[in-house]
Amino acid sequence: METTLLSRIADIHQSISNPRNTVSKDCLLDTLMALYTDCEKGTSKSTAVKQFLDKYKNTVEDIRKKNVSAADFDIKRFIQQGNFGDIYLVKEKQSHNTFVMKKVLREKMSNTVERDIMVKSSCPCIVNLFYSFQDMHHVYFIMEYVSGGDFATLLENQPDGYLNENKARFYIHELVQAVQYLHNLGYVHRDIKPDNMLLSATGHLKLTDFGSATQVDKKGLVTSIVPVGTPEYVAPEVLEWMEGNHGIKGYTASCDLWSIGVVSYELLTGNTPFNYETLDMTYSSILACDTEDNIQFPSNISISSTMKHFVQNLVQKMDVRLSMEQTLGHPVFDCLDEQPPCIPPPSQENKFHKKDKRKASPSLKGFQKENNYLETALPLIGISYSGDASTPALSSEETR
């Protein structure tokens, strides 16, 4: 049936009104602002450029004045410095709602993946995005404040430095569910670690920090060679690909399952299985981990043989590693308690995060050297998001 002119126009209007779509109102505004700023800064002042600047001057000034900006938020406290940006606890000046703000240098961002994941997600186990915006030097993400803190801090606060198996099992299962949801969206996280796992006010896990995430291609592969991840959690196939072993055609989302195995070991023991003094030793140990008995557990910690089997079969070479289906269906989850093992105290602001003192990720220095404003701006068109934050950010985590 042939569509009418009015229905086609209505389809376009409906499409751009959906922030989850590639071309949305926010994306179109980004495009206008990038073009205008480039013309404004450019050396060419042809008649056409002058006419364009004159035509849209008042509109652009109005948008700049009304758009969400860093000036709308009061910084209450610095939380931590991550691999891709600084994290702050902030309050919106008018509503006094509490949020977490991530501030990233523009030169460290080459796509809108981080924004896209949070906007597309409707999963309670993935942190919510309320706003994203940019200025001449930075990109900002305004996200929900997850009051229970991160799992790195949770482990530090345990008397023995680790969780008992029943507690760990609950959070491992929720982590797997979060990663499965992410994979179903077509993305790979690539930096799963306790620092990027948050504990909600209701005691559930939320996955955060998608700065290393990427989209898989039509074959389900990642082919980017940009260094990513945190050394102790990086899968061997990712290391091989980054080191130039292109006998393979890329790597798959299975690299996240390796990281889940490493995180599981850490929750159960307080350390990763690859905690060495130097990067060379860490990477060598990861690349050599190709048999089930390569992962040894401390004899003084009570861990079931089922849990050991689970971890050992995730921390394996890609071709023999558990699949996502096998991971979720593993017997370790057969007797899972549906109730969270602990509920954090009402206020955890002072314990929310500690500065990350782990080994730094592989350097990104040398990548993304742009020559002019438009070349820098083009990859970030569509980064903006002006979602509804009329209710306190904290309420969004209370639904789970």
pLDDT of res. 359: 40
Cα 325 from Cα 79, distance rounded (Å):
36
Provide the angle, in degrees to the nearest 10, between the axes of the packed helices 305-312 and 165-184.
30
More confident residue, 202 or 374: 202
- 356 in a structural domain: no
As a whole number of angstroms, the distance between CA 83 and CA 397 comes to 25
**Model pLDDT, residue 292:** 60
Within a domain: 243: yes
Number of domains forming the structure of the chain: 2
DSSP helix, strand, coil percent of the chain (3-state; round to 5): 40, 15, 45
How far, in Å, CA of 295 to CA of 304, rounded?
14
Asked if the structure places residue 327 within a domain, the reply is: yes
Are residues 166 and 141 located together in one domain of the fold? no
Q: What does DSSP assign to residue 105?
A: E
Asked if residue 217 and residue 90 are part of one domain, the reply reads: no
Q: Is residue 4 part of a domain?
A: no
- What are the structure tokens assigned to 14, written together? 């409906």
- Do both 248 and 206 map to the same domain? yes
Using the predicted structure, report yes or no on whether residue 388 has a pLDDT greater than 60: no
Based on the domain organization, do 160 and 304 belong to the same domain?
Answer: yes
Mean pLDDT of 242-255: 83
Paired with 105 in beta bridges are 138
Q: Which domain holds residue 345?
A: 151-351
191 plus 265 within the same structural domain: yes
- The pLDDT of residue 277 is 87
CA distance 148 to 136: 33
The rounded distance, in Å, linking the Cα atoms of 194 and 267 is 8
> At residue 369, does pLDDT exceed 50?
no
pLDDT tens readout for residues 282-303: 999 999 886 666 789 999 999 9
Q: Are residues 196 and 320 in the same domain?
A: yes
Same domain, 156 and 66: no
Q: Kindly state whether residue 330 falls inside one of the protein's structural domains.
A: yes
Residue 197 scores a pLDDT above 90: yes
12: Cβ contacts below 8 Å, ≥ 6 apart = none
Q: Could you tell me if residue 364 is inside a domain?
A: no
- Nearest 5°: the CA angle 375, 22, 249 is 75
- Rounded Cα–Cα distance for residues 203 and 340 (Å): 5
Where do we find the tokens 């969206």? 185
Does one domain contain both 37 and 165? no
- 204 in the same domain as 108: no
In angstroms, rounded to a whole number, what is the distance separating the alpha carbons of residues 299 and 122?
41
Q: Do residue 155 and residue 137 come from a single domain?
A: no
For residue 199, what is the domain's CATH number? 1.10.510.10
**Whether 161 and 141 share a structural domain:** no
Mean predicted confidence (pLDDT) in 107-134: 94
For residue 375, pLDDT beyond 80: no
Report yes or no: 267 and 163 within 8 Å, Cβ to Cβ: yes
Q: What is the pTM of this model?
A: 0.88
Element (H, E) at 188: strand 187-188
Same domain, 261 and 315: yes
In a domain, 265, yes or no: yes
Q: Cite the active site residues.
A: 191
Asked whether 356 and 150 are in contact (CB, 8 A), the reply is no
Q: Where are the alpha helices (DSSP H) in the chain?
A: 5-16, 25-41, 47-66, 113-120, 151-156, 165-184, 236-242, 254-269, 279-287, 305-312, 324-328, 373-377, 393-397
Instruction: Give the residue-averaged pLDDT of 325-345.
Output: 92
- Considering only residues 234 and 353, tell me which one the structure prediction assigns the higher pLDDT: 234
Q: What CATH number is given to the structural domain containing 137? A: 3.30.200.20
9 within a domain of the structure (yes/no): no
